[in-house]
Structure 1
């Protein structure tokens, strides 16, 4: 049975009929805070690529500062971060879908408004892909958002069944690749390599060296080939199925408003936290060790990818449930720290790619491969802390982040009010 979202987190009935975005008084602070922490996790995972660790040669890795700590840093990041926070972001997307869809339905609108919102997000993703960085997730989120629309009338039980199925399908996909020798991503990778060569990019020496040397125009020229490489990665991982699975779980959670009154759902949240952390953490640890040691062994890579499909959603849900329980127990002073960054997640996500490109590639200081992986654990929190400070300053003056304002304005077909109203002197 569908559960209609009748009130906001403060218990106030939302009755506005105007076709406008969610206002400040309608925000769910717990979701913004959790989105902020997820943004830090995504930054940490992405920085492992920007810093050069993912594509550097062994001599380049060995020459990096503090490289002797690489194994420990890689273990921690692969164990606790990689996959978990993009899954958490996907979960939050599904929750947001439930909130927005309910609001549109109570206003007498259909799903067309949400579809338009997805189209604008897809354009942001394309711009990110072709103008800045191949690791974009926005375009995939938009495409899977259209798939999510097909489930808006599905029962709660159907949502859960489909979510489990979609996380299990990649295991069969991995078995097909490693045991049957059928790799659908292979031709895409080959096409990407041919496209790099056609554009005069020689990656045979070192991708890290090329990115350090290439200026922005050279990288821009190579980005279509890099996009093909990204499509190959998403195909190999069957990432669309994993993203849609978390969307569906988020839709289920959003229907039940678990975040609005955590105390009312404490037994369920405790079970999810205990199972997610108790089972997910050890499985994720084994998976991280396999990832670091599997090499070209097909059996080991299949085992690693299978454990990823099991441990990642468990741990992401465990993180979310534990966070919600702590929030309900009065730990908000600490947990809400990244709330401003979470309210401007799109702006901050894109800004992270821009800053890292300027710091680590030939677009700017070309510092990729100069630092060992352990520095990600220092650089990522420092950059994110700066984003929290800037986001707090911005939101004290404006209603939305710059990209959020553009997203909303394009969605609603008119410029949205941007500046906050100044308080009237003499009023309470």
Structure 2
């Protein structure tokens, strides 16, 4: 044994990747499972070359799919990853502190690299990148939030309460002002997804990415909420927080689903309203979607508790293996959508059915690939690269 490998058990456990046996199931299960929802949202965005990626005049089964996507997926998936990102910042800091490394420098370097990863992802594949925004928020969180005390972190609960109150106010105004009409859900076009050549799509994405990144930076409140949860080990110790997880899952998801219901009914063509009412429904849908972050995370915490070590199932473990490689899985999806949907490749867009089927198949394929990598003890390529650039050899 060389001198470089003679370390204390704590240092060995914290300086390298977390061994599978030491990982909590809930975070990996949440990341892996919610990548399916990310796939559903982004495949639809590519298929219709715009957001939200819904057919404005649905028929038959399209009505059901529109209702499902609007109720459970759109504006409801990415807050989960914001929660998990904040949770991960605390976990990384805790392990870095235990290993005796320069925690602040490590986190700043890692988040700066995420901005670089995001810029590359947005330039080469998809303007709707979140990695750059995570990196920027991660830098802010490291500098301003990480080393604060418990009393300071209680502020985020107050801010979260204000967001919930705003949803109630928006819903009340919508109820008072709703009018019938013939407005339909329309997709806001994204030029990069409709470009006829790869070169022109790059030019479009370079212009689109900064604005998109700026528009999602306010999710720092959701990231901060994840940091609050991480400081309390809520997902590592779900049994000790069972009551909290149940209350958050029921309450937050109820707000998310009820807040999105008017818009979902309009998207499904079940109700018909005027343009002003549809705009208000869209705003309520987006605002209530923020509750999907804590709601879904709490639900996955309860699922992890249900499928504890003595009762784990192969399917649960397979989804968790993808969660351990969520960065690679996320980037793999963007490659798949580019191959399948853009005009200068297979150009399979324009159909809700095709987008939905492609999302499920691509996600399932990524689960299988992640499981195969797990059996060979290989990390995801994006995770490997990020770690190598962050920590060196």
TM range (shorter): 0.7 to 0.9
The TM-score normalised by the length of structure 1 is 0.74
How far the C-alpha of 1:96 sits from its partner, in A, is: 1.0
C-alpha change, 1:335 and 1:295, in structure 2 (3 Å) is: farther
2:46 is matched with 50
The 8 Å contact of residues 339 and 346 in structure 2, kept in 1 or not, is answered as yes
Q: Name the residue aligned to 1:222.
A: 204
Answer yes or no: is 1:40 the counterpart of 2:16: no
Q: State how far apart, in whole Å, the 1-side matches of 2:389 and 2:129 are.
A: 21
Note the 1:133-172 alignment, pairs <5 A.
133-149=126-142, 150-162=144-156, 164-165=158-159, 168=162
Give the structure 2 partner of residue 305 of structure 1.
283
Q: 1:413 to 1:294 in 2, by over 3 A?
A: farther
Matched with 1:259 is 235
Whether the aligned pair in 1 keeps the contact of 2:111 and 2:139 (CA below 8 Å) is yes
- 1:339 corresponds to: 320
| CA positional deviation for 1:57 | 11
Work out the CA distance in 1 between the residues paired with 2:132 and 2:334.
Answer: 15
Give per-residue Cα distances to partners, 1:328-385, cap 9 Å, x unaligned.
123642443311211111111111011111110134211222xx21443322111111
Matched position secondary structure for 2:254: helix
Deviates more, 1:258-267 or 1:119-128: 258-267
> Contact 1:24 / 1:399 at 8 angstroms: preserved in 2?
no
- 1:81 deviates by 0.8
Q: How far off its partner does 1:94 sit?
A: 1.1
Query: Hey, what does 2:302 align to over in structure 1?
Result: 325
CA distance in structure 1 between the partners assigned to 2:328 and 2:12 by the alignment: 27
Instruction: Report SS of the residue matched to 1:111.
Output: helix
Q: Using structure 2 for the length normalisation, give the TM-score.
A: 0.80
Asked whether 1:28 is paired with 2:28, we answer no
Q: What's the secondary structure of 1:259's corresponding residue?
A: coil
From 92, 107, 114, give the equivalent of 1:114. 107
Over the aligned positions, Cα root-mean-square deviation in angstroms equals 3.3
Unpaired segments of 5 or more residues in structure 2? Answer: 1-8, 171-187
Does residue 280 of the first structure (1) align with residue 241 of the second (2)? no
Aligned residues: 358
Match of 2:65 in 1: 73
Note the residue ranges of structure 1 that are not aligned, 5 or more in a row: 1-12, 176-205, 415-428
1:388: how far off? 0.7
Q: Deviation of residue 252 (structure 1)? A: 1.2
- The alpha-carbon deviation at position 102 of structure 1 amounts to 1.0
Determine the C-alpha separation between the residues in 1 that align with 2:14 and 2:236: 24
Residue in 1 that maps onto 2:181: none
Partner SS for 1:365? coil
Distance, in Å, in 2 between the alignment partners of 1:306 and 1:138 is 26
Q: What's the secondary structure of 2:82's corresponding residue?
A: helix
Change in CA separation of 1:113 and 1:167 when aligned onto 2, cut-off 3 Å: farther
The match for 1:82 is: 74
Which has the larger displacement, 93-102 or 70-79? 70-79
CA contact (8 A) 1:44 1:376 kept: yes
Pick from 371, 396, 400 the counterpart of residue 375 of structure 2: 396
How far residue 55 of structure 1 moved from its aligned partner, in angstroms, is 6.2
Cα gap change, 1:67 to 1:360, in 2 (>3 Å): farther
Residue in structure 2 matched with residue 387 of structure 1 by the alignment:
366
Aligned to 2:178: none
Give the structure with the higher percent helix: 2
